[in-house]
Amino acid sequence: MESGENSDNDSPQNNPPIIIPKNPNISDWDAFSEEIVKGIAENCQGYKFMHYLNSRHYSKINNICMYIGIILCPLAGTLSAINVYFNNTHVSVYISIAIALITYIAALKISIVKFGRYNEKSNLHEQFSKKYAQLENNSRIQLTLNRQNRINARVYLNWLTKIYDEIYQGSPIINSWIYKKYMKQVETSGIIFPGKYDSVIRINNSVENDIEMGNPLTPLREFSKAQMNYEINRLMGI
């Protein structure tokens, strides 16, 4: 009886899966995941500068229009007062023409500012420049820390790629001339050009143990050929 009970308890069906705890000295970060984070941080750095340049460009246009308005509006009022003094003279004709031109330019300036929305565009580009800067700094801090002190690699990469995609999709379009200007700076100074990928797609053929990839408790199960075929057919819907 004892031998029979022992044989039943030793059968693979009654034995629970083997649980191997994760070694705290083994980091779930590797060179490949660090390269991914580094590439995203470099892209953030590039987009940060380009959105900053775009923000300055629209801010400069808005300031010029505002300064023109500050000068023209009082000037038109002053010329109107002077025109009263030169009423019914040939000088009054020139002053009236000048007032009409100034009024036209002031109205045109208001229409350009209202249609262009330069202040709004400047603030929007500045906002996304700060978002890219925050994401870059976060990635830089993670890579600066020791591997054992970082956030779990899978969790951090999922968060980083999600936030990066959300910022990229919601960001305003960068002016083409700023993009080309930044490209020239890349060629001369060697700074990072965002979105520049290799023409060859590389495949990572390395096999990592689940224990090293951040799974703290990994069940080890041995599948027979029949079980493996069943699992494959179930996934394929056969």
C-alpha–C-alpha distance, residues 56 and 75, integer Å: 29
Write down the pLDDT at residue 10: 52
Task: Tell which wins on pLDDT, 95 or 225.
Answer: 95
Read off the pLDDT of each residue in 96-115 and give the average, rounded to a whole number. 83
88 backbone φψ class: left, alpha, beta (φ>0; ψ -120 to 50): left
For residue 134, what is the DSSP state? H
195 backbone φψ class: left, alpha, beta (φ>0; ψ -120 to 50): left
CA-based Rg of the chain, rounded to a whole angstrom? Answer: 33
Write down the pLDDT at residue 199: 45
Amino acid (one-letter) located at 79: L
Amino acid (one-letter) located at 14: N
C-alpha–C-alpha distance, residues 31 and 70, integer Å: 58
Write down the pLDDT at residue 127: 95
Residues 6+ apart with CB under 8 A from 41: 135, 136, 139, 140, 143
Instruction: Please compute, for residue 79, the number of CA atoms within 13 A of its CA located in the half-sphere on the CB side.
Output: 19
Give tens-digit pLDDT for 175-197. 888 888 888 877 776 666 665 54
Question: Hey, CA dihedral for 25, 26, 31, 32, is it positive or negative?
Answer: negative
Q: Mean pLDDT across the chain, nearest whole number?
A: 75
C-alpha–C-alpha distance, residues 116 and 124, integer Å: 13
